[in-house]
Structures are given as C-alpha cells and as structure tokens.
Amino acid sequence: MSIYPGSCHCGAVKFEVKVNQYLAYDCNCSVCIKKGFLHLIIPPEQFTLISGEEFLTIYTFNTGIAQHKFCRICGIHPFYTPRSHPDGVDVNVRCLGQDVLVKFTIEAFDGANWEANHSKITKLD
C-alpha cells in the first residue's frame, strides 16, 4: 500500500490516501462530467483529512446520499461521500500529486445511467 498526499487547488484542504488498487472511474453523469472527477473509492481507514475541514462546503442533489465536498475558497472537489459507497470516501485522483495519475487504470463508468450500472463499481477492499 502506498501513501499519497492530496489537496484542493489553493491548498486549504489537505489530505492523504493509502492506495492498494490503482483503478479509477471516469463517470459521465451530469455532475462528474462537468467536474472532471476521476473516482478512487476507498474505505475510510485509507483516508486522512490533514487540514481544512472548515473550508469544505457540501453540495447534495437527487437522493441526497452523496455528499459532494468542495473547497469554498478555490471551488475544487477533492473528495466526497459517494452514493454507491456511502461508507467510503471517493477521492479525485486529479487532486493527488501530478505523477500519480499515470499509475492508474482509468475505467469508463456510465453514471448517466446510474441505476442500471452502479453495481458494476468495485466494492471496497
């Protein structure tokens, strides 16, 4: 398992993740496609918020289960609580160090048709 630092653009929100599976999802749902979010879904024990909780704002829609967190200073969405795994953390791989993205296999996910496809997302380790 490797540990990587992550942050929003301005650095107000800092975190680290432990990665043991280099698989990320590129979702085409209405919110992810606009954000460019690449999903790394991990158990909560593999995520540590270092600083900046006070700078996080939450956006919810539809069922309200997903808690989309973003930095209220720079607007970047570094991680959130996903609807597919409400007991996990979904980290935006693009918010990790620049050299980390090349290590990942990126798999397309049809989130525009979420109800029919959500079971295809890998379960948490």
Q: Give the CATH number for residue 75.
A: 2.170.150.70
Which tens digit of pLDDT belongs to each residue from 64-106?
Answer: 787 889 999 999 999 998 888 889 999 999 999 878 999 999 9
Task: Of 64, 91, 85, 81, give the one whose Cα is nearest residue 5.
Answer: 91
Which tens digit of pLDDT belongs to each residue from 15-33?
Answer: 999 999 999 999 898 888 8
**In whole angstroms, how far apart are CA 95 and each of 61, 64, 102, 118?**
23, 24, 13, 23
In angstroms, the CA 32 to CA 11 distance is: 22
Q: Please tell me the total count of domains within the chain.
A: 1
- Assess if residue 10 is contained within a domain: yes
- Assess if residue 115 is contained within a domain: yes
- Assess if residue 125 is contained within a domain: no
Q: Which domain does 19 fall in, by range? A: 2-120
